[in-house]
Amino acid sequence: MTQEKASQICIVTVTGVDKVGIVAKLATVMARANINIVDINQKILEDTFVMTMAVDVAEAAIGMDKIKTHLDRVGKNMALKITIQDENIFKAMHRV
């Protein structure tokens, strides 16, 4: 029997203009919700700042709808588009 807890990875995507404090704000939201950040990447794509953050929501203290509300608030305050989606949608679309 494995001792590992099942993980449920979601990808948070931030698009817009890079500025100070994006990671800090998102990390605060995640920490408060007991969500572990697994990985962070960022790039400039087609002149747009794109950051992806892989998070594990398996142990999250709040539901997806609440997480979305918090992320929407951060997005609104910082003029960014923020989405959160289960990782499997990307795996289905981009991995054969």
The residues that touch another protein, with contacts defined as CB under 8 A, are 11, 13, 15, 39, 41-43, 45, 48, 50-52, 54, 64-65, 68, 81, 83-95
The CB-of-91 to another protein minimum distance in angstroms stands at: 7
Give whichever of 27 and 40 is closer to another protein, judged by the CB atom: 40
Give whichever of 17 and 92 is closer to another protein, judged by the CB atom: 92
Helices (DSSP H) in 39-95: which residue ranges? 64-78, 87-94
The CB-of-72 to another protein minimum distance in angstroms stands at: 12
Contact 84, 67 (CB under 8 A): yes
Give whichever of 30 and 53 is closer to another protein, judged by the CB atom: 53
Q: In angstroms, what is the C-alpha Rg of the chain? A: 14
For residue 56 the two structure tokens come to 């594990």
Q: Cα(19)–Cα(92) distance, rounded to whole angstroms?
A: 32
